[in-house]
Chain A
Amino acid sequence: MTNEVKVKDSIDASTVEGVRSLEADKYKYGFDSDIEQEFAPKGLNEDIVRFISAKKEEPEWLLEWRLEAYRRWLTLEEPTWAMVDYPEIDFQDMYYYASPVKKEGPKSLDEVDPEILEIYNKLGISLKEQEVLAGVEGAPKVAVDAVFDSVSVVTTFKDELAKHGVIFCSFSEAVKDHPELVRKYMGSVVPVTDNYYATLNNAVFSDGSFVYIPPGVRCPMELSTYFRMNAQGTGQFERTLIIADKGSYVSYLEGCTAPMRDENQLHAAIVEIIVHDDAEVKYSTVQNWWPGDSEGNGGVYNFVTKRADCRGKNSKVSWTQVETGSAVTWKYPSCILRGDDSQGEFYSIAITNGHQQADTGTKMIHLGKNTKSRVISKGISAGKSNSTYRGLVSAHRKATGARNFTQCDSLLIGNDCGAHTVPYIESDTPTAQFEHEATTSKLSDDQLFYCRQRGLSEEDAVALLVNGFCREVLQELPMEFAVEAQKLVAISLEGSVG
């Protein structure tokens, strides 16, 4: 009993601290950390690609993979169809590799640079405490892979996971220890030349997480990767590969933050998920990259390709995302519903404030029979921001009995922002049933009045109503994240009233 109370205490404390930090600053993760780091030379060319590969002591095939991708990238053009507007990116004016200086790869938490642990502490990710709490009955366990700029600094709970046959490690380790799995699955969901940013990622990807859940295993704890962009002038290019073998289940969380800087940093990641027969993957993201200051200076460009392939019969993927950060977001977590009876879900809240721009949504590609998908997207725009839902639902001729329900609602707070909806619907079979609904509205004056009448400040009232608007999505998040996300909803909208 007492142990349980302890844990609750710790959660409450962090909530209290979180709320306090809101008063001090809108973006509590914006601190800069002075960590000794080594960089690749600035710019991008074949030598840099070779440099990254050599640094990571990669096998020849992976170097060839990177070089091939780099050459293809040179022939591609940056996409311009999204409703986002940003100055041209100078791909030669950034570092493609930055890692904390280390002697030997840490074998356990004790060997990790305490300064880095401290940074994660400040971010609310207490790696050490998690490990210590491992023995405490009833404590929520989350295994964390902490990715710091271009490298994974530590992965917790590896041993315990290994007992269940679960592989959870950094991508670089997976390349060394499980090359057969990496070679089999890497690039099989997002092809090397899928799009401009994915191709760039294939050339220069640094680190990321690798997850393999063996057949029939229900992963005993939540897996989580925490991405931190720290070094100045760097881009982050991680990739995540998750394989859920037959009948397995895993819930995976992803968090991301970056320091406040007046430069624009590029984040171009790839997430690939492979789901076999009867397996299920739940992927939750709380994206909180630095969104830039109130004048629109700085902020992260978040150009991410995320895709899940429901290869097996009766497989299921569920994407849940809370997008509050980044200056520019360009992201469409998608599901290829290949296996018969497979299911895809997409729950999203995208909140933009200040000068943020978000163009996000999903693709549900129905290929198998009786496949089902559900899309719930809530976009909230405030300040001078623009948020766009862009989605595709398609049914192949053989996808008989396919079902989709899409609902995308937008909320505008203030008269300098925009909310847009761009759905693409393609059906090639009469037995598919597609339904799509969208609305755009503003917060109701009556509801605001009602809340204020009962003594809530205007800001609290807005946060309450917005939370209500987002409830369908928030309730899909794992517990630990739901609390965090609700706080974020309030942070992002702070200052939008009045």
Chain B
Amino acid sequence: MPVLKQLPHRRMEAWKWTDVRRAVQESDPGLLQEATPKISDLEDWDGFKKPYAGPAGDGCRLSMFHTDGTWRISVNEHTDLKKPLEITYAQPGHSSLEVNIDDGHSLILIEHYNCSEKGFSNIDIDIDLGEESELTRIIIHNDDSDHTRLQTSRIFAQNGAKLNQYMLSFGGGMSRLETRLYGEGEGIIAHMNGAYLLSGNRHADLTSFTKLDHPNCLIRQSVKGVVTDKAKGVFQGKFHVERDAQHTDAEMRHDALMLSDRAEIRSKPELEIYADDVACAHGNTIGALDDNALFYMRQRGIPMAQAKALLTEAFVASVFDDMEDDAMKASLMTQISEWLETSYGV
């Protein structure tokens, strides 16, 4: 099948606001090739590239058609290194990654998506979280404004597994970062926070899907967006709570700021609930900066641009508040400040 035909398009309900097929041209670098990720200290993690057992066919993930194997990282008693694993995707192309965290072990995974050239990238990631294991995942995305990026991760969590995810996206030409969390055990705790800051003609789509099959899970999700110029921000979130997932406590929030007349926000916070003894909520707000707060700050001598930057920074920063790694948090905040300075001309 021609690769363009394999790409999702706006007539598919889940892709109506992110029309990948229209954004990609056949000549785009990366469309038919494999990308090699840069993985820090690969050998320390028993990392290697595992060839596929058979050829790609119907129902296979897109990357499988264009790569000859999947990168595999294991965290177990020998490789629980208490240091972050960093993976950088800077080349256009397809890539596949599997991460396996054994029962009771933990990992800090930092993913960089920063391709500085026009092209197409598609990264498929599968993560297995063993019982009582813990994953802290930090995703930083800043592609070239002509780059199209798909990144889909599936996380399979067992009893008592814990996930902390922080995503910061500055977008690309068109991008979709999708997290699919499958709760396959009881008592899973997941915090999935994210922020997108978009300028120019950039597009970022932060989509998530959380399916819970077992009781006593706690999910907290908060995504904040800032769009200016002609940028377009998309948030799609869904909690799917099956009949047996009683006592689920799940909350989803999406708040977006629009800073220009030509910017666009699309949002779809969805709930699909089959269990009766649960508390599930979602909230969504879209608006501009508070005029009163701006006036107050200007009255105290803060220039307009700086006042806007300060308010925006405070708005976005909250999603990274509970990050444990202070250095990492500072690094994210610096990137946000730099973006604000450029966008507001402070």
Contact = CB atoms under 8 A, between A and B. Distances in A.
Contacts of B269: 421, 423, 436, 438
A434 B263 contact: no
Contacts of A442: 276-278
Nearest to A421: B271
Given A425-B267, A427-B258, A442-B278, A436 B272 contact: no
B284 A421 contact: no
Contact of B284 (A414, A423, A439): A423
Given A415-B243, A425-B266, A425-B284, A420 B271 contact: yes
Given A397-B261, A423-B268, A430-B259, A437 B281 contact: yes
30 contacts: A83-B272, A410-B273, A412-B273, A413-B276, A415-B276, A416-B243, A417-B276, A418-B273, A419-B271, A420-B270, A420-B273, A423-B268, A423-B270, A424-B268, A425-B266, A425-B284, A426-B267, A427-B258, A428-B264, A429-B261, A430-B259, A430-B260, A430-B288, A431-B288, A433-B285, A433-B287, A437-B284, A438-B281, A440-B273, A442-B278
A430 B262 CA distance: 8
Nearest to B238: A422
Given A421-B270, A430-B261, A415 B275 contact: yes
Interface residues of chain A: helix, strand, loop or mixed (majority): strand
A389 to B, nearest CB: 9
Nearest to B228: A430
A409 B319 CA distance: 26
B276 A414 contact: yes
> Which residue of B246, B279, B284 has the most chain A CB atoms within 10 A of its CB atom?
B284
B274 A422 contact: no
A262 interface: no
Interface string B94-108: 000000000000000
A438 B282 contact: yes
Contacts of A4: none
Nearest to A394: B266
A436 B264 CA distance: 17
B287 to A, nearest CB: 4
Nearest to B275: A415
Given A425-B268, A441-B280, 16 more contacts: A81-B13, A397-B262, A414-B276, A419-B271, A419-B273, A423-B268, A424-B266, A427-B258, A427-B265, A428-B264, A430-B288, A432-B287, A435-B285, A437-B283, A438-B282, A439-B280
B286 interface: yes
B264 A421 contact: no
Contacts of A425: 265-268, 284, 286
Contacts of A418: 272-274
A436 B283 contact: yes
A429 B278 contact: no
Which 10 interchain pairs have the tightest Cβ spacing?
A430-B258, A412-B276, A436-B284, A425-B267, A421-B271, A430-B288, A434-B286, A433-B287, A440-B280, A418-B274
Contacts of A423: 267-270, 284
A461 to B, nearest CB: 16
B287 A440 contact: no
Interface in B94-129: none
Contacts of A420: 270-273
A439 B279 contact: yes
A430 B258 CA distance: 5
Nearest to A433: B287
Given A432-B287, A435-B284, A440 B278 contact: yes
Contacts of B262: 397
A163 B278 CA distance: 57
Contacts of B266: 424-426
B276 A439 contact: no
A439 B284 CA distance: 12
A410 B278 CA distance: 11
A123 B92 CA distance: 69
B271 A440 contact: yes
Interface in A134-179: none
Contacts of A436: 269, 282-285
Contacts of B286: 425, 427, 432-434
Nearest to B279: A441
A426 B278 contact: no
Interface string B234-271: 00000000010010000000001011111111111111
Contacts of B287: 430, 432-434
A373 to B, nearest CB: 14
A472 B7 CA distance: 45
Interface in A432-466: 432-442
Contacts of A433: 285-288
B198 to A, nearest CB: 13
Contacts of A440: 271, 273, 278-281
Contacts of B285: 433-436
B278 to A, nearest CB: 7
Interface in B285-321: 285-288
Interface in A374-397: 397
Contacts of A421: 269-271, 282
A416 B282 CA distance: 23
A429 B279 contact: no
Nearest to B235: A425
Contacts of A438: 269, 271, 281-283
Interface in A399-417: 410, 412-417
Nearest to A422: B270
Contacts of B277: 415, 442
Contacts of A428: 263-264
A429 B258 contact: yes
B253 to A, nearest CB: 10
Contacts of B268: 422-425
Interface string A19-48: 000000000000000000000000000000
Contacts of B261: 397, 429-430
A420 B272 CA distance: 4
Contacts of A441: 278-280
A438 B275 CA distance: 16
A335 B265 CA distance: 21
Nearest to B17: A426
Contacts of A431: 288
Interface in A67-87: 81, 83
B62 to A, nearest CB: 24
Contacts of B281: 437-440
Contacts of B260: 430
Nearest to A442: B276
A442 B241 CA distance: 14
Contacts of A83: 272
